[in-house]
């Protein structure tokens, strides 16, 4: 009986350790509880997740709320914890407020999943944080000074200028009327300048991808710049070819919009894999290999070409129905 109890205790302990290793925690904190109006203060974000989890941070704009402005967003730093089973990600925000009284730093969200391909995405939120914003202090020790009498001054250039401007405007108007009267006798036919046709999105995307290919930018040490350029090409192509506002969207929002185009799964996966890797490079400071960089280029290039062929086929079907 004692042996059985000991075995059960060991199993429960192992389960407890495993649960703790898989837990994810997210919090925000600051040392400031009172600031002067317009004063900057630091707000730290701490995220603890298992080391192999995929994390997508909230995109920060100029404001967190109508009362909290964002001055600066720091990079994500990562360090191992719990004997390397977990990692702690830290991010610093510099914030301020121009309201007075009690204001609140709102909830901030991160999305995470067990792996890149895991379709189950979970979210963690920080709590609201209360800050009291004071006005500029007034020195009440100084005595009030008497109101001075109005001082008379001579005519200044500032007073003369409006009248001079009116006279010049009337003279200019009379001159323009004179010119218009003379030109009315000999009217010329003005040919409207033809608008230059917009460059098709597929041509723009091909030209930019060809430039990356010629320079073999996948070998560059500036991995973040490389993936930024590569995904920007895909986003601009989606906007120009399929009217998807991808430039302002996150990876999940882009894929949700692309799914509505009824593209085949292999075509969509090429885009999704590169967007996810780019997020890891930009937000988690991942360092893909040169081969992975080259494959990402190939995936985006194939996505552009394959989706364009799909677009042409769909247009052809519409014409045949009409």
- Exposure letters 302-319 (e unless 16+ CB within 10 A, then b): ebbebbbeebeeeeeeee
Structural element, H or E, at residue 108: none
For residues 308 and 322, what is the distance between their CA atoms, to the nearest angstrom?
A: 21
Question: Mean pLDDT of all residues in the chain?
Answer: 83
All structural domains of the chain with their residue ranges = 24-134, 201-321
User: Which pLDDT band holds residue 10 (cuts at 50, 70, 90)?
Assistant: very low
Rounded CA-CA distance 189/192 in Å is 9
d(CA 217, CA 220): 5
Tell me the per-residue pLDDT of 91-119, one tens digit each, with 9 for 90 and over.
999 999 999 899 999 999 999 998 888 88
Question: For helices 265-284 and 223-242, what crossing angle results, to 10°?
Answer: 140
Q: How far is CA 72 from the centre of its chain?
A: 13
Kindly report the pTM of this predicted structure: 0.41
What percent of the chain is helix, strand and coil (3-state, nearest 5)? 45, 20, 35
pLDDT classification of 134: cutoffs 50, 70, 90: very high
Assess whether pLDDT exceeds 70 at residue 185: no
φ, ψ of residue 63 in degrees (nearest 5)? -135, 150
Per DSSP bridges, beta strands 34-36 and 129-134 are parallel
Half-sphere exposure of 204 (CA within 13 A, CB side): 15
Q: What is the DSSP string of 188-251?
A: -PPPPPPPPPPPPHHHHHHHHHHHHHHHTGGG-S-HHHHHHHHHHHHHHHHHHHH---GGG--H
Band the pLDDT of 126: cuts 50, 70, 90. very high
- Residue 238 burial (CB < 10 Å; 0-12/13-18/19+)? buried
Residues 55-66 have a mean pLDDT of 90
The architecture of the domain spanning 24-134 is Sandwich (2.60)
Residue 21 has what pLDDT?
41
DSSP state of 58: P
Residue 75 three-state SS = coil
Gyration radius (Cα) of the chain, Å:
31
**For the residues 31-56, what does the mean pLDDT come to?**
91
Exposure string of 76-92, with b = 16+ CB inside 10 Å and e = fewer, is: beeeeeeeeebbebebe
Q: Which of 87-101, 181-195, 196-210 tops mean pLDDT? A: 87-101
What's the mean pLDDT in 251-270? Answer: 89
């Amino acid at each position: 009986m004692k042996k059985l109890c000991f075995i059960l205790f060991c199993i429960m302990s192992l389960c407890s350790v495993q649960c703790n290793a898989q837990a994810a925690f997210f919090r925000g904190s600051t040392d400031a509880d009172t600031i002067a109006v317009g004063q900057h203060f630091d707000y730290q974000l701490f995220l603890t997740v298992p080391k192999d989890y995929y994390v997508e941070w909230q995109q920060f704009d100029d404001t967190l709320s109508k009362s909290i402005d964002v001055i600066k967003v720091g990079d994500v730093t990562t360090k191992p914890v719990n004997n390397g089973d977990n990692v702690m990600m830290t991010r610093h925000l510099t914030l301020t407020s121009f309201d007075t009284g009690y204001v609140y730093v709102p909830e901030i969200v991160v999305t995470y999943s067990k792996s890149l391909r895991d379709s189950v995405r979970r979210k963690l939120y920080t709590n609201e944080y209360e800050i009291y914003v004071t006005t500029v202090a007034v020195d009440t020790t100084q005595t009030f000074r008497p109101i001075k009498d109005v001082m008379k001054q001579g005519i200044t250039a500032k007073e003369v200028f409006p009248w001079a401007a009116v006279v010049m405007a009337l003279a200019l108007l009379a001159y323009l009327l004179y010119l218009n009267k003379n030109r009315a006798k000999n009217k010329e036919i003005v040919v409207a300048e033809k608008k230059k046709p917009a460059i098709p999105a597929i041509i723009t995307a091909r030209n930019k991808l060809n430039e990356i290919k010629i320079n073999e930018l996948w070998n560059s040490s500036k991995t973040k710049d490389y993936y930024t350029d590569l995904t920007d090409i895909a986003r601009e192509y989606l906007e120009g070819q399929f009217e998807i506002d991808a430039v302002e969207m996150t990876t999940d929002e882009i894929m949700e919009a692309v799914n509505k185009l009824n593209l085949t799964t292999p075509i969509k996966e090429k885009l999704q894999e590169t967007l996810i890797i780019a997020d890891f490079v930009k937000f988690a400071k991942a360092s893909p290999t040169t081969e992975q960089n080259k494959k990402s280029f190939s995936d985006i290039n194939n996505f552009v070409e394959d989706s364009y062929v799909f677009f042409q086929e769909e247009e052809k079907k519409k014409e045949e129905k009409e």
